[in-house]
Amino acid sequence: MLASLTPREREVLALVGQGMSNAEIVDSLVLAEPTVKTHVGRILMKLEARDRVQAVVFAYDAGIVTPGH
């Protein structure tokens, strides 16, 4: 499933995995909020995740995010 994500979606997933809100991701990546919402929605769809929590678990399991970072 990770291979189905674009590089930008992986970047957004990493930030979601770090606990960032959409607003924080907007500031971090200098994107419009609707763009971030679109990325998060596509990530959830591609990972077949019900919500952000499942996406965060996936990010940790896939090694995109590590504890303490």
CA–CA distance from 44 to each of 10, 17, 19, 68 (Å)?
Answer: 12, 12, 15, 23
Would you state the pLDDT for residue 53? 97
Distance CA 39, CA 6 (A): 9
Would you state the pLDDT for residue 69? 65
CA–CA distance from 56 to each of 29, 46, 48 (Å)?
Answer: 18, 14, 12
Question: What are the tens digits of pLDDT across the range 4-55?
Answer: 999 999 999 999 999 999 999 999 999 999 999 999 999 999 999 999 999 9
Single pTM value for the model? 0.94
Distance CA 8, CA 18 (A): 15
pLDDT exceeds cutoff 90 at 68: no
